[in-house]
Structure 1
Amino acid sequence: MKLLYIITNISGAGGMERILLLKSGYLAEHYSYDIHILITNPVDVPIHYKIHEGIKLHTIAPIKSNTLSYYISYKKLINEAVTEITPDVVIMCDNGLKSFLLPFIIKRKLPLVYERHVTKYKKEKPDKSRLASLFKDNIKSIFMDFCAKRYHKFIAVTTDGAQEWESKNVEVIPNPLWLITDKSADLQSKRLISIGRHDYQKGYDRLFVIWKRIVEKYPDWQLDIYGSSNSAYDIMSMAKKQGITTGINFYNPVADIESVYRNASGCLMASRYEGFGMVLLEAAACGVPSVAFDCPVGPKDIITNGKDGFLIKDGDVKAFVSAVGKLIEDEELRKEIGRNAKQKAKNFAIEPIMEKWDNLFKSLVKN
């Protein structure tokens, strides 16, 4: 069977890029799928993750002079690619608004799957006007719900994510865990980590408010932040404005992220929203306890509060600080939660999850 995945690019070090390459490589190797990936917004950046040798990459470059010309060009190039590749199923992995137009773009009658990796209510910057934002969000929601129903299957990666959509074609298939290791962090270092690109979504401004209180009480502890920098969202300057000059370190994404987890004693996530929260699952696989805001959507599917991590009411800085303090002060609690987290991570083994995908594709082609 031939599959065509459509994504903006695969060059980043983000979770969606990693998961797409993991799943497509697994399907190629274990199920003998013929995998094609169409990149719609190519960037001149090296691909961060390994690509299975059986995967074929294609790129298109739509005209970007204005919205109308972009759409016309995008539609033309998508159809040309579909005609050339002749897939049995097309899977959209773009989180942008244009992804909802695919059912109206493709001329051939093909099974179409939308794989949604973020909450329906994502925002890329703060609202200037709450009233205007509510109006805009409602219009977007109506548009997205209308278009989502035109896909043959709409896949959410979390149960909360699925409940955001008013459509009968929604199904939950979680992301599989890529990091498989028998080793666990010893949780002895005075080092906490936070991993994610530098942008509004990841909530570093919230994290710095938290960390300022932590480092004042526990000055011998360090926070290591790993993620791609962004000149439009300078988190280093943000930290300085919060008065944080010590106890914090910034690093670019690294290939050996497992070592980062295994040298940490805790993982912090202050995101405003997620699609899944792969960082929490990676930390769990290494036996590292996490503290995360209960943001939409994802953390709730990975963390059971107080058992295998701490899930904090979204925006409750005081409770977040308290949970981090408990982990810092109580080594036995760190170890207990770390053990439980590692056990929880086994629920996301790749084999049964990819079997679900295989069954889905076969049923779509059959019907």
Structure 2
Amino acid sequence: MKLLYIANTLTGAGGLQRVLLLKAGYLAERMGYNVTIISANDKPGKQIFYPVSPLLNCIDISPAKPDRITYFKSYAKLLNESINAVDPDVIIMCDNGLKSFLLPFILKKKRKLVYERHTPKIVKIKNASGNALKSFTDTLLYRFMDYSAAQFNKFVVVTQQGKSEWKSKNLDVIPNPLWFDTDEVSNLAAKRVIAVGRHAYEKGYDRMFTIWKQVIDKYPDWTLDIYGDDNPDYNIRQLALDSGLTNGVNFLPPTKNILEAYKNASIYLMTSRYEGFGMVLLEAMACGVPCIAFNCPVGPAEIISNNEDGFLIEDGNTDAFTKSVITLIEDKELRSQMGERAKTNSRAYNLDVIMQQWDALFKSL
């Protein structure tokens, strides 16, 4: 069976790229699928960050962007040409952008379609203003998204909470798989806290720095390491300074050896305003690191068992979040107990188990 994935980008160092390449490689190497991935928004010359199976065929069709209308016309043309050349049995859309919802309407030939949705329906949270015009346009947008979602043969989300956002009858829930299996775990002795993610508004670094300032005022010998690419449009280094943090925070680039970073940490922090899944939580837990996260839409509540393998905090309550960080700093035994449970609970996301669900879905179409 021929599968064709469509992604916004393959070169990023985010969870979506890692999971997509992992699953596509598994399908090709271990299940015998013929798999192609099209990326539509990669920068020229930029290399793919994560390992790529030699059995995968990766095609970059990224059109020029002189303006939005020209871009979409070029995107539709190049996409149809590539699809016709591959002639897949199933097309899987993995682009979380709004253009992904246009797929059923721009195809020249009817094909079996699957949408694999990795982000919540809240697509304009950054610019939320609460005014009447925005409310009206959002209503129209969400109605179009619902209508488009119903045109796919299957619409797959990664959490049960995410499923509740959609009205289609073609919904399935298949969580992201854990991409590694390790018996090595952190000893949780280092005075080191970690966060991993791109530098963006939705990741809530402003909230993280408010929390961390209170923590290191009490425990100045602890450090926070943040892994992620710098973003000139969202300068988190300046946010840290604005929060009064002149030390106690290290800004580090993405690393292909992120497991070592987890294994040398004692606590993981997530202060996101929203998540599609929260893959980094699962990664940290698999390394025996207890996590603290805001109960934001839509992933953390389905990964963290509150007070068992970590803490799930009322969204936006930075004081409660700070108290939980301090609790884990002060109580090494509690850190160890939560870390052990985190490791155990992470096994529910075993790669083989998750990929059997995808295999069954494709064969059911």
Q: Which runs of 5+ in 1 are unaligned?
A: none
- Residue of structure 2 in register with 1:304 after alignment: 305
Deviation at 1:15, TM superposition (A): 0.1
User: Secondary structure in 2 aligned to 1:281?
Assistant: helix
- Residue of structure 1 in register with 2:344 after alignment: 343
- For residues 207 and 179 of structure 1, the distance between their equivalents in structure 2, rounded to whole angstroms, comes to 27
- Residue of structure 2 in register with 1:165 after alignment: 166
User: Secondary structure in 2 aligned to 1:151?
Assistant: coil
Q: In the alignment, is residue 81 of structure 1 matched against residue 82 of structure 2?
A: yes
Q: In the alignment, is residue 324 of structure 1 matched against residue 325 of structure 2?
A: yes
- For residues 134 and 329 of structure 1, the distance between their equivalents in structure 2, rounded to whole angstroms, comes to 45
Deviation at 1:61, TM superposition (A): 3.0
Q: In the alignment, is residue 200 of structure 1 matched against residue 201 of structure 2?
A: yes
- Residue of structure 2 in register with 1:18 after alignment: 18
- Residue of structure 1 in register with 2:233 after alignment: 232
Mapping of residues 83-162 of structure 1, within 5 Å: 83-123=84-124, 125-162=126-163
1:164-219, CA deviations, whole angstroms, 9 ceiling, x for partnerless residues? 11111110000000121001100000000011010101000010111111111111
Equivalent position amino acid for 1:29 in 2: E
User: Secondary structure in 2 aligned to 1:125?
Assistant: helix
CA contact (8 A) 1:276 1:297 kept: yes
Give TM-score scaled by structure 1 length. Answer: 0.97
- For residues 130 and 165 of structure 2, the distance between their equivalents in structure 1, rounded to whole angstroms, comes to 23
- For residues 130 and 171 of structure 2, the distance between their equivalents in structure 1, rounded to whole angstroms, comes to 32
Q: In the alignment, is residue 27 of structure 1 matched against residue 27 of structure 2?
A: yes
- For residues 220 and 63 of structure 1, the distance between their equivalents in structure 2, rounded to whole angstroms, comes to 49
User: Secondary structure in 2 aligned to 1:319?
Assistant: helix
State the aligned residue count.
Answer: 364
Mapping of residues 144-293 of structure 1, within 5 Å: 144-293=145-294
Equivalent position amino acid for 2:13 in 1: A
User: Secondary structure in 2 aligned to 1:6?
Assistant: strand
CA contact (8 A) 1:123 1:201 kept: no
Equivalent position amino acid for 1:324 in 2: V
User: Secondary structure in 2 aligned to 1:194?
Assistant: strand
Q: Which moved more, 1:64-73 or 1:354-363?
A: 64-73
Deviation at 1:39, TM superposition (A): 1.1
- For residues 206 and 178 of structure 1, the distance between their equivalents in structure 2, rounded to whole angstroms, comes to 29
In structure 2, relative to structure 1, the CA distance for the partners of 1:339 and 1:130 (3 Å cut) is: farther
- For residues 180 and 132 of structure 2, the distance between their equivalents in structure 1, rounded to whole angstroms, comes to 43
CA contact (8 A) 1:121 1:137 kept: no
Deviation at 1:137, TM superposition (A): 2.4
In structure 2, relative to structure 1, the CA distance for the partners of 1:171 and 1:202 (3 Å cut) is: same
Equivalent position amino acid for 1:220 in 2: D
CA contact (8 A) 1:179 1:258 kept: no
- For residues 255 and 124 of structure 2, the distance between their equivalents in structure 1, rounded to whole angstroms, comes to 27
User: Secondary structure in 2 aligned to 1:101?
Assistant: helix
- For residues 46 and 64 of structure 2, the distance between their equivalents in structure 1, rounded to whole angstroms, comes to 20
User: Secondary structure in 1 aligned to 2:126?
Assistant: coil
Deviation at 1:126, TM superposition (A): 4.1
Equivalent position amino acid for 2:18 in 1: R
Equivalent position amino acid for 1:198 in 2: H
- For residues 361 and 210 of structure 1, the distance between their equivalents in structure 2, rounded to whole angstroms, comes to 44
Equivalent position amino acid for 2:230 in 1: S
- Residue of structure 2 in register with 1:66 after alignment: 67
Equivalent position amino acid for 2:181 in 1: I
1:342-362, CA deviations, whole angstroms, 9 ceiling, x for partnerless residues? 011000001111011011111
Give TM-score scaled by structure 2 length. Answer: 0.97
- Residue of structure 1 in register with 2:36 after alignment: 36
In structure 2, relative to structure 1, the CA distance for the partners of 1:14 and 1:339 (3 Å cut) is: same
- For residues 141 and 104 of structure 2, the distance between their equivalents in structure 1, rounded to whole angstroms, comes to 17
User: Secondary structure in 2 aligned to 1:296?
Assistant: coil
1:14-45, CA deviations, whole angstroms, 9 ceiling, x for partnerless residues? 00000000000000111011110011112132
Deviation at 1:128, TM superposition (A): 4.2
User: Secondary structure in 1 aligned to 2:105?
Assistant: helix
Q: Which runs of 5+ in 2 are unaligned?
A: none
What is the alpha-carbon root mean square deviation over aligned residues?
A: 1.2
